[in-house]
Amino acid sequence: MIIPDRIMTFINSLDDGLSPFLECLAKEAQETEVPIIRRDMQSLLKVLITMKQPHRILEIGTAVGFSAILMAEYAPGDSTITTIEQYEKRIPLAKENFRRAGYQNRIELLEGDAAVILPGLADSYDFIFMDAAKGQYPALLDDCLRLLAPGGVLVSDNVLQDGDLIESHYIVERRNRTIYKRMRSYLYTLKHHPELETAILPVGDGVTVSVKKR
Ligand SMILES: C[S@@+](CC[C@H](N)C(=O)[O-])C[C@H]1O[C@@H](n2cnc3c(N)ncnc32)[C@H](O)[C@@H]1O
């Protein structure tokens, strides 16, 4: 947790909640230990989607479809979402959730590794939500930028590793050092990229919001 517990509890206590379907899905995800975006990240995503009103959304990291359905609820009714997932066990669950939520015609799930799928995509997207394996973000960035429309928004979740990212390299456990290095380099690139304007926010496990300059 990056933000002190008491502040987080206060912020979450004011949250206006989720639709009954998403409330149920969030509970199921918690019981089955499926990772989904945290409550404060849910709130930020609702605001960003309401503000941007994107017609074409790309998500990398579907899990069981929670965030894709949340975005579908807040995006325009004629918008479409393409979401990518590689974990075979989660794919049928996500598809079933899209059907149960009534979004099977608006949300398309592409099955496989985003590193393999993204180079084959040619459409342009108004909003990209990156929520996959953190160590892969730098490798996926070029394709995300190619696919992002001018004025489009790229949101990357879990970028501060529960605060570990600010620690010295020597304090970080050896097994986490590759992700640590890659994520620091990813944040530097986002902040210094000539095509992007980026804010790093201590929301959830750390999130970046980048806009592709026109
Ligand atoms: C944090 S979960 C996504 C949560 C989801 N966005 C939500 O909030 O409902 C990350 C998901 O990304 C998937 N993933 C990780 N790396 C991936 C990759 N390279 N290609 C496709 N899916 C990937 C994992 O299998 C996992 O289900």
Domain ranges of the chain: 5-212
Q: 172 falls in which pLDDT band (50, 70, 90)?
A: confident
* pLDDT greater than 80 at residue 213: yes
Q: Is the CB of 92 under 6 A from ligand 1?
A: no
Give the pLDDT score at 83. 98
Using alpha carbons, select from 45, 41, 71 the residue that is nearest to residue 203: 41
Distance CA 116, CA 144 (A): 13
Distance CA 157, CA 134 (A): 8
Give the pLDDT score at 174. 79
Q: Report, as an integer, the average pLDDT of 171-198.
A: 92
Angle made by CA atoms 62, 117, 104, in degrees to the nearest 5:
45
Ligand 1 nearest atom to the CA of residue 59, by list position: 6
Buried-exposed string 68-97: b where 16+ CB fall within 10 A, e elsewhere: bbbbbebbeeebbbbbbbbeeebbebbbeb
Q: Report, as an integer, the average pLDDT of 148-160.
A: 97
CA 142 remoteness from chain centre? 17
Q: Report, as an integer, the average pLDDT of 196-214.
A: 96
Q: Report, as an integer, the average pLDDT of 145-174.
A: 90
Give the pLDDT score at 170. 82
Give the pLDDT score at 163. 82
* pLDDT greater than 80 at residue 1: no
Residues with Cβ < 8 Å from 22, sequence gap 6 or more? 66, 69, 70, 73
Q: Which residue has the higher pLDDT, 43 or 176?
A: 43
* Domain 5-212: top CATH class: alpha beta
Distance CA 143, CA 146 (A): 5
Give the pLDDT score at 25. 98
Would you state the structure tokens that stand for residue 121, as one six-digit string? 């995509």
Distance CA 26, CA 87 (A): 19
Best residue among 18, 57, 60 to mutate for probing ligand 1, ranked by most atoms within 8 Å of CB: 60
Give the pLDDT score at 2. 83
Q: Report, as an integer, the average pLDDT of 137-153.
A: 98
Would you state the structure tokens that stand for residue 30, as one six-digit string? 């918690």
* H or E element, residue 174: none
Give the pLDDT score at 162. 80
- Compute the distance from residue 114 Cα to the ligand 1 centre, in Å: 9
Q: 51 falls in which pLDDT band (50, 70, 90)?
A: very high
Q: What is the CA radius of gyration of the chain?
A: 17
